[in-house]
Amino acid sequence: MSKIYRGLAFMVLVVFSVVSRAELPDFRDLVKETSPAVVNISTVQHIEAAGFQQRYGLPQDVPEIFRHFFGGPGGQQGAPGEEERASLGSGFIISDDGYILTNNHVVKDADEIVVRLNDRRELDAKLIGADESSDLALLKVEAKDLPTVELGNSDKLDVGEWVVAIGSPFGFDYSVTAGIVSAKGRSLPNENYVPFIQTDVAINPGNSGGPLFNLDGEVVGINSQIYTRSGGFMGVSFAIPINVALDVADQLKEKGKVSRGWLGVVIQEVSKDLAESFGLDKAAGALVAQVVPDSPAEAAGLESGDIITRFDGKDIYLSSDLPHQVGRIKPGEKAKIDIVRNGKRKTLNVEIGVLPDSDGAELAMNSGDPQEHASKRLGVVVAELSGRQRKAVGDGVIVKEVKRGPAAFSGLVNGDIITNIAGDAVTSVDEFERIAKDLPANRSVPMRIVRRGSAMFIPLRINE
């Protein structure tokens, strides 16, 4: 009897194992079929190198043989008077004649772009166009009969659906990671025009610009950034929907730039207290704080104090939902806007305009005038974080302008968020000013920043 029981137990275990394995997806065929169309992208930027004394604080009489050890990145000196900075990312081929999609931040300011294919060929790429607002770039290599990806429909993605990323994290080519769709339509700080796909797929530096596949082997997104407090992957990744990316790519290919819909309002979040004061049942919608003169919003009859609850048939729950909804509508098309005005609901018709190039005419911006501070010692202007930014990254200050000085030399750029300097947390503009004044001269200190959702440390040195 004992043998029978053991036999039955073994059969149950085998059946359970088979069923368990059957419930999990097998990515092997997907990876084999799609990998040939995924590429590695490396860039080179030529910049003027600072003098040895300025850069390292070396005395004039240091022999040349020792200066060799203070060469360019990776121990390479490069040509006198200039140095090279290389970056690494991913991309994928969308047409057999050589068009490639990637992130703008992968190729931004690059003097040279090199694409390495799955068969180890390396091809020089030309930048057809880039769109900073959506963080997308379209490249072109001179080749024929290239393998291409199958393009899916990101609007049909479901939360909980399996997705797969292929890219080059930390330079490890064709690394495969998998996870599920955690959420759709995410709005991120300073990212007005992209309703991001949130996943728990492991994404790290080098994955940027790489494809996100569904189980049918179709590209549904472009891996763009992560949310992190540690500088590494923490289970929250964001991808640009492929439907958004293809619209941008078509415009870049046709015109070299992107035209977006423009409404012309300054909006803010609807808090619980504001909702009650406006007679709303719940805190939802986008409160119009200001209507831009001579804008489509003014022509449609929108007024300050209106609360936009629906736009073009889609509910507006957060004020951040509005920009990417308006931005996706082509200029000249018409849309309906549902509003609440003085406790009464109305519907307005608007003809969408073209988003002006000026940063001062944003589709939707936060109201208020955050405190700013210009640090002459560091050569940088910083400002307080908005509520959404603080919620996303914690304490810090945002870089508004980088001037000539230590900040520029350290590699800071506009939009970086400084969270820590030399071990001291930067909690406000006033705290930043205090820390900057007390920094030691002629010695590098670590500075932690958050750039496009990714945390990193960079050295900061004040030569005095």
Active site residues: 105, 135, 208
Strands 397-402 and 424-425: what pairing? unpaired
DSSP class of residue 439?
P
Report CA-CA distances (Å) from 180 to 9, 197, 209, 211, 238.
34, 10, 19, 14, 12
Cα(2)–Cα(4) distance, integer angstroms:
5
Measured from the Cβ of residue 256, the count of other Cβ atoms closer than 10 Å reads: 12
Task: Give the closest residue to 113 by CA, choosing from 92, 127, 103.
Answer: 127
What's the sign of the alpha-carbon dihedral 65, 70, 71, 75?
Answer: positive
Instruction: Compute the CA torsion angle 134, 140, 144, 148 (nearest 10 deg).
Output: -20
DSSP class of residue 19?
H
The three-point CA angle 141-221-359 to 5° equals: 85
Measured from the Cβ of residue 413, the count of other Cβ atoms closer than 10 Å reads: 13
State the maximum Cα–Cα separation within the chain, in Å, rounded to a whole number.
91
Q: Residue 432: in which H helix or E strand, if any?
A: helix 429-438
For residue 307, the cross-strand partners are 287, 340
Burial class (CB in 10 A: 0-12, 13-18, 19+), 6: exposed
DSSP-derived secondary structure for 226-275: E--SSSS--S-EEEEEHHHHHHHHHHHHHHSS---EE--EEEEE--HHHH
Going through 371-423 in order, the beta strands assigned E by DSSP cover: 372-375, 380-384, 397-402, 417-421
